[in-house]
């Protein structure tokens, strides 16, 4: 069985769609990853998120989630040696979609913060 590891596809900003973004955000794991990246000081590799919401994720599942975020145009992933480091495309997204993405991240972050307090 021959399989080639395709290189990472990032859509150009003008091909990103609202539907694509909303689909990518529809999974609780993906919104958690994205919000975390959006609020992080620096890029993070995929394995950072192997534990999420107190559950352990198989790395194949995590890999799919990153691919979906990437192909929706939400994140940019770059190989750095043996790992993949990820950052959000927030600046481009703001340019194209206004405050939508930031609004989502902020609402999510506020909700999670409130949840913790209880």
Partner DNA sequence: TCCTTAGTTCTGAAATATAGAACTATTGAA
Partner DNA sequence: TTCAATAGTTCTATATTTCAGAACTAAGGA
Our finding on whether 103 is near a copy of itself (CB under 8 A) is: yes
Q: Identify which range of 39-47, 62-70, 80-88, 94-102 contacts a copy of itself by CB under 8 A.
A: 94-102
Q: How many CB atoms lie within 10 A of CB 58?
A: 9
11-14, long-range: CB < 8 A, 24+ apart: 11/71, 11/72, 11/73, 13/73, 13/89, 13/92, 13/93, 13/95, 13/96, 14/96
Nearer to a copy of itself, 6 or 118 (CB): 118
Sites for a copy of itself among residues 23-82 (CB under 8 A): 23, 25-26, 28, 31
Our finding on whether 94 is near a copy of itself (CB under 8 A) is: no
- For 49, phi then psi, to 5°, come to -105, 20
- By CB atoms closer than 10 A (0-12, 13-18, 19+), residue 37 is buried
Among 22, 39, 40, 50, binds a copy of itself (CB under 8 A): 22
46 closest CA partner among 57, 104, 97: 57
Among 67, 71, 97, 104, binds DNA (CB under 7 A): 67
Our finding on whether 64 is near DNA (CB under 7 A) is: yes
User: Which positions touch a copy of itself (CB under 8 A)?
Assistant: 17-19, 22-23, 25-26, 28, 31, 97-100, 102-104, 106-108, 110-111
């Amino acid at each position: 069985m021959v399989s080639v590891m395709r290189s990472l596809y990032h859509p150009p900003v003008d091909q990103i769609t609202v539907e694509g973004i909303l689909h990518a955000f529809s999974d609780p794991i993906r919104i958690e990853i994205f919000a975390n990246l959006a609020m992080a000081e620096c890029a993070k590799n995929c394995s950072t998120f192997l534990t999420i919401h107190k559950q352990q994720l198989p790395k194949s599942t995590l890999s799919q989630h990153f691919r979906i975020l990437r192909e929706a145009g939400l994140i940019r992933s770059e190989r750095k040696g043996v790992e993949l480091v990820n950052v959000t495309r927030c600046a481009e997204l703001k340019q194209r979609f206004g405050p939508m993405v930031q609004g989502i991240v902020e609402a999510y972050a506020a909700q999670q913060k409130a949840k913790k307090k209880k």
